[in-house]
């Protein structure tokens, strides 16, 4: 009797251990697979949709990147860019003086590459949140505004930041067209 009992305990024990072992190794394998797939997917998105097109027009980069960083055209719809270009003599309180030929080239570039023309995920989110608004500022786009709600006002008194318009102060990959929250470092002063 006691031998039979010992035998059953032994068999159950073996079953239990092999089962747990198999479960653990399966779980490990699954998790590994999941992470790998997840990473691959993210990578795929990055290449395909997450990045805004780069600022590849030297006339735009030179003239519109003189006082602030040259915003990617995909951050505003073409109509907003048109409004901005139509009012360069009073550009947020400053005079922007650009030769007529260069202005024409910039205007074509912005018209062809505005957020309404872009397949990037960020441009699509921007267009969706805008409805029929045509803001003059990227920082006034509801989606962008909402994403920065939590940043305390005092942060903007830091010399290297000054305003929300200064995207590249905090987004370390802004110039590559990547505004992922993983790539944000808020400067301390």
User: How far, CA to CA in Å, does 35 sit from each of 26, 29, 49, 99?
Assistant: 14, 10, 20, 53
Question: Treating both helix axes as pointing N-terminal to C-terminal, what angle do 78-85 and 100-113 enclose, rounded to 10 degrees?
Answer: 160
- Residue 29 CB burial class (10 angstroms; 0-12, 13-18, ≥19): exposed
Q: Give φ, ψ of 112 to 5 degrees.
A: -75, -20
Pick between residue 127 and residue 167 the one whose CB is nearest to ligand HEC.
Answer: 167
Pick between residue 31 and residue 94 the one whose CB is nearest to ligand HEC.
Answer: 94
Cα-trace Rg, the chain: 27
Minimum distance from residue 143 beta carbon to ligand HEC (Å):
7
Minimum distance from residue 94 beta carbon to ligand HEC (Å):
4
Pick between residue 106 and residue 127 the one whose CB is nearest to ligand HEC.
Answer: 106
Pick between residue 57 and residue 171 the one whose CB is nearest to ligand HEC.
Answer: 171
The residues of the shown chain that bind ligand HEC, judged by CB under 6 A, are 63-64, 66-68, 71, 75, 84, 91-92, 94, 96, 98, 106, 122, 137-139, 144, 147-148, 150-151, 155, 161, 163-167, 169-171, 179-181, 184, 186
Structure tokens at 45: 């998105």
């Amino acid at each position: 009797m006691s031998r039979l009992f010992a035998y059953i305990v032994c068999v159950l024990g073996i079953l239990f251990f092999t089962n747990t072992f198999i479960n653990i190794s399966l779980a490990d394998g699954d998790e590994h697979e999941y992470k790998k797939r997840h990473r691959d997917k993210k990578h795929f998105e990055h290449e395909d949709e997450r990045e805004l097109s780069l600022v590849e027009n030297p006339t735009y980069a030179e003239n519109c990147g003189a006082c602030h960083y040259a915003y990617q055209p995909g951050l505003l719809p073409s109509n907003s860019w048109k409004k901005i270009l139509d009012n360069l003599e009073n550009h947020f309180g400053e005079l922007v003086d650009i030769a007529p030929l260069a202005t024409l080239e910039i205007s074509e570039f912005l018209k062809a590459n505005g957020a309404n023309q872009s397949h990037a995920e960020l441009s699509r989110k921007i267009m969706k949140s805008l409805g029929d608004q045509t803001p003059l500022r990227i920082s006034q786009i509801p989606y962008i505004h909402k994403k920065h709600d939590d940043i305390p006002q005092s942060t903007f008194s830091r010399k290297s930041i000054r305003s929300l318009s200064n995207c590249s102060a905090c987004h370390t990959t802004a110039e590559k067209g990547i505004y992922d929250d993983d790539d944000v470092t808020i400067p301390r002063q």
